[in-house]
Amino acid sequence: LQPRPISNLSSALEASATIKIISFLGTPFSVRSGGHLANPGWVNTGWTNTDTGIVISVNELTQVSHSADKTVASIGPGNWWGAVYEELEPYGVGVLGGRVPNVGVAGLALDRGISYFTNHYSFALDNIKNFQVDLSTGDIVDANLDENVDLFWGLKGGLEISVLPQDST
């Protein structure tokens, strides 16, 4: 199925403007990152009618950077994991991401995300420190442990679980 129209975004400000227009018009929409899932209807705005709504593509949002202390990476949602690994490798750092290089960052991360190190470090999603989110108002906000905490936990699946040490007896 070929969705139409498609809005290709190249910045957070373009995303904000697009969301404002879509919200004002009440237009159905979906968001596409890497497009790894080829299931019919999954990248479209309706299960049976691809002529209504708009698909927002974030495939051009591909920035990759890391903090000076090399403890946090900032990754655009349009990346594929292979490109992320290639960008970070010269700096001697990596991230918990997909096991297949041509999987999109946003979809894998928001759907838990299994990496080669899941058994040791948990899912990719559990290691996300901050989400930058365009709200339906067009406002761009951060969601993390200090700001918009409810949104942060909602994007992580809504669970906050404390891990207790195993009883050694």
In a domain, 106, yes or no: yes
Which pLDDT value is given to residue 169? Answer: 47
Q: d(Cα 97, Cα 1) in Å, to the nearest integer?
A: 28
Could you read off the pLDDT of 47-97 as tens digits, one per residue?
A: 445 456 788 888 888 999 988 998 899 999 889 999 999 999 999 988 888
In a domain, 135, yes or no: no
Q: d(Cα 162, Cα 125) in Å, to the nearest integer?
A: 16
Q: d(Cα 152, Cα 137) in Å, to the nearest integer?
A: 18
Is there a single domain that holds both residue 48 and residue 72? no
The pairing of beta strand 6-8 with beta strand 54-57: parallel
Task: State how far the alpha carbon of 97 is from the alpha carbons of 8, 39, 107, in Å.
Answer: 24, 22, 11
| SS3 state at 66 | strand
In a domain, 140, yes or no: no
Could you read off the pLDDT of 101-142 as tens digits, one per residue?
A: 888 888 888 877 888 888 888 888 888 999 999 888 889 999
Which pLDDT value is given to residue 165? Answer: 57
The least confident of 35-44, 105-114, 131-140, 150-159 is 35-44
Task: Tell me which residue range forms the domain holding 96.
Answer: 64-128
pLDDT tops 60 at residue 1: no
Total number of domains in the chain: 2
Which pLDDT value is given to residue 57? Answer: 83
Q: Enter the DSSP assignment of 156.
A: T
Is there a single domain that holds both residue 56 and residue 8? yes
Q: d(Cα 122, Cα 139) in Å, to the nearest integer?
A: 31
Which pLDDT value is given to residue 58? Answer: 86
> How many Cβ atoms are within 10 Å of 84's Cβ, its own excluded?
21
The pairing of beta strand 140-143 with beta strand 131-134: antiparallel
pLDDT tops 50 at residue 168: no
Is there a single domain that holds both residue 54 and residue 72? no
Asked if 33 contacts 105 with a C-beta cutoff of 8 angstroms, the reply is yes
Is there a single domain that holds both residue 68 and residue 55? no
Q: Which position has the higher pLDDT, 94 or 34?
A: 94
Could you read off the pLDDT of 10-19 as tens digits, one per residue?
A: 888 888 898 8
Is there a single domain that holds both residue 124 and residue 69? yes
What does the block give as tokens for 140?
């761009």
Q: Which position has the higher pLDDT, 49 or 98?
A: 98
Is there a single domain that holds both residue 46 and residue 89? no
